[in-house]
Structure 1
Amino acid sequence: MGALADGLIVSAIGLIIDLANLEGLLSLELWLGSAIWLVWFAAIAKRGQTPGKQMLSTQVIRTDGSAASRKLMWAREVGYRAAVNVPVILVGQLYPGSTVSELVLAAIAIIVLADGIAIFFSPDRQTLHDRVFGTLVISIRPVRQTSAELRAL
């Protein structure tokens, strides 16, 4: 769910940049995108949370229960994003508008879908990239106690 919220946030930012009609200024779009990306990952590395995870009160930790280091958070996010985005960019540049591009995009979509669906087949509800990096997404919402439990205190 955090990834979905993050996707909506990033899509909104991308739409705003696109609506600004910066088509002729590719380098400006690239710089803006890079700046947003750096701010995004700085937030992730500091707290172990993307903005979407903050909204949903979830956090990334190591599978042993310890806090995820900044280095691990950067590796997890950059590794996942690179695995998804680099093939798309390369194929788009090498084979623009071709069937090869469409096949690669379809393959990437299947991989991203499989990554998300993996939570339903993992006892700890881990995505594939969580398994690769030894991380786990947990809820950090306070546990609500029933009135009977509170009276027992």
Structure 2
Amino acid sequence: MVVASPWRRLVASLVDGLILFFLSFLLMALAGVDPLGPSTLGQDLLFQGLPGWAYYVAFTALYGATPGKMALGLRVVRTDGKPMDWLTAFMREVVGKTLSTLPFLLGYLWAFFHPKRQAWHDLIADTLVVRVESQNPGP
């Protein structure tokens, strides 16, 4: 099991951010809200916050990876070896990432210095982000 680098995780996060940007844009347009106009805190929560949390929790609980992580060959695993579950995904993606974000993204930067490359949300949920081993052996 090879622990993923923080840089690879960052690129995966950017891919997920692009997906969520377009999803939020679509949801706002379907609801009749101008996606390019000013928004309220309620609209931000409804069209960005809640869909984002649902996206991260569902993909992590069901597949162990978001589409961004899948594209970069990454997976979230529990350190105790048990399968990913909904509570662990919620603790990591909602509670942990909220705490990682609040003090100037310090919780995310932590992964650059932690020996197992764990950010605060990984430590809170007892998870690791690892590289997926290739299923196709070479010649």
TM exceeds 0.5?
yes
One-letter amino acid of the counterpart of residue 109, structure 2: A
DSSP 3-state at the match of 1:21: coil
Once residues 126 and 96 of structure 2 are traced to their aligned partners in structure 1, the CA distance between those partners, rounded to angstroms, is 13
Map of 1:137 onto structure 2: 129
Equivalent of 2:13, from 3, 6, 19?
3
DSSP 3-state at the match of 1:108: coil
Q: CA deviation at 1:67?
A: 1.6
One-letter amino acid of the counterpart of residue 3, structure 1: S
Equivalent of 1:32, from 27, 38, 47?
47
Structure 2: gaps spanning 5 or more residues: 1-8
Partners of 1:22 and 1:28 within 8 A in 2: no
With over 3 angstroms needed to count, the CA separation of the structure-2 counterparts of 1:29 and 1:132, relative to structure 1, is closer
- Asked if 1:115 corresponds to 2:110, the answer is yes
The residue correspondences of 1:13-24 to structure 2 (distance < 5 A) are 20-23=35-38
Once residues 99 and 61 of structure 2 are traced to their aligned partners in structure 1, the CA distance between those partners, rounded to angstroms, is 19
- Aligned residue pairs: how many? 123
TM-score (norm 2): 0.64
Once residues 142 and 125 of structure 1 are traced to their aligned partners in structure 2, the CA distance between those partners, rounded to angstroms, is 21
The residue correspondences of 1:25-104 to structure 2 (distance < 5 A) are 27-40=42-55, 41-84=57-100, 87=102
Once residues 35 and 14 of structure 1 are traced to their aligned partners in structure 2, the CA distance between those partners, rounded to angstroms, is 10
Bigger Rg, structure 1 or 2:
1
> Higher helix proportion, which one?
1
With over 3 angstroms needed to count, the CA separation of the structure-2 counterparts of 1:36 and 1:62, relative to structure 1, is same
Quote the RMSD (CA, aligned, Å). 3.1
Partners of 2:78 and 2:128 within 8 A in 1: yes
Partners of 1:58 and 1:141 within 8 A in 2: no
Q: CA deviation at 1:72?
A: 0.6
Q: CA deviation at 1:77?
A: 0.8
Once residues 53 and 20 of structure 1 are traced to their aligned partners in structure 2, the CA distance between those partners, rounded to angstroms, is 27
Q: CA deviation at 1:78?
A: 0.8
User: Percent sequence identity over matched residues?
Assistant: 24
Once residues 34 and 133 of structure 2 are traced to their aligned partners in structure 1, the CA distance between those partners, rounded to angstroms, is 37
